[in-house]
Amino acid sequence: MSSNLPDIDLETANVELEKLSASERIQWAHETLGSGLILSSSFGLQSAVMLHLANTAVPGIPVVFVDTGYLFPETHHYSRDLEKLLDLNIRVYSSPITPSRQEALQGQLWKQGKEGLDEYGLVRKVEPMNRALKELHATGWLTGLRRKQADSRKDRPIIERQNKIYKIYPIVDWDDTNILTHMLKHDLPSHPLSREGYIVLGDTHSVRKLGAGMDKKDARYGGLKWECGLHEGGRGEDFVI
């Protein structure tokens, strides 16, 4: 994370960025924020799109992959396959506390209500991501969030400042048709679990297949929340995200 962030007029920038394509938005971010621009990816169902867009516009851009220790094996295989296919510069970050130690000391936090989920997110996701941003001297953080994914994302701008870093959402206004079209046009492989009833992916214990009569919100964290913590804002000055 860089302490020398450029002073961006966010209102003006968002008006201009709304007129640009996703690729042009990424290029603008690179020109504006320089070598401190990074991308994070969960290597989820639709992650190939942002990975392709970002690495095409900025070849070799650092891709932060937070490994919680509870990811599906298929997600690891998918990350390996996309790394080779797209020649990605993946940087894997994990919590210094192993899953077994955390469970021994705190139990299975994801079974302890929203407070437990929040603590789980801080330890296994927020801390590693925060460390990645600092070590990579990040000035800007690209992610593939989209407004249509959840109510918590419907008002996202294209660029915003979250504590000590700028976050940019190049495909925030895309719908599922845009995603599918891009994947087909560029022959991008889908996640191995994309055909098994999942509408969202994450840790093995945090998501479930969408069944009959289920609201889509119930497919993630049992309906208690949707965001994992990375895109809600950090707690205190020690967290940049």
On whether the CB atoms of residues 198 and 219 are closer than 8 A, the answer is yes
Angle at 117 between CA 62 and CA 97, to 5 degrees: 60
Give the model's pLDDT for residue 56: 98
> How many Cα atoms within 13 Å fall on the side-chain side of residue 204?
11
Q: How many domains does the chain have?
A: 1
Give pLDDT, residue 179.
95
Q: At what angle do helices 176-185 and 47-57 cross, to 10 degrees?
A: 60
In a domain, 3, yes or no: no
Mean pLDDT for each consecutive 10-residue tract of the chain (241 residues)?
80 97 98 96 94 98 97 97 98 97 96 91 95 96 86 82 93 94 96 87 86 61 54 46 49
Could you tell me if residue 2 is inside a domain?
A: no
Tell me which residue range forms the domain holding 120.
10-223
Residue 241 is assigned to a structural domain of this protein: no
Residues with catalytic annotation? Answer: 228
What residue type is 20 in one-letter code? Answer: L
Task: Tell me the CATH number at 176.
Answer: 3.40.50.620
Residue 234 belongs to a domain: no
pLDDT at 60 (0 to 100): 98
The pLDDT, as a whole number, for residue 207 is 87
- On whether the CB atoms of residues 121 and 112 are closer than 8 A, the answer is no
CB 110 within 8 A of CB 222: no
Q: Is 140 exposed, middle or buried (0-12, 13-18, 19+ CB in 10 A)?
A: buried
Q: Are 56 and 23 in contact (CB under 8 A)?
A: yes
Is 5 inside a domain boundary?
no
Q: Which amino acid is at 40?
A: S
In a domain, 230, yes or no: no
pTM of the model: 0.89
Size of the chain, expressed as the number of residues it contains: 241
In a domain? residue 4: no
58 — phi, psi (to 5°)? -130, 80
Q: Please tell me what DSSP assigns to residue 226.
A: S
Instruction: List helix spans (H) across 72-126.
Output: 73-86, 99-106, 113-121
- Tell me, what's the pLDDT at 239? 47
The CA angle 151-212-208, to the nearest 5 degrees, is 65
Q: Radius of gyration (Cα) for the chain, nearest Å?
A: 17
**Residue 146 forms part of a structural domain:** yes
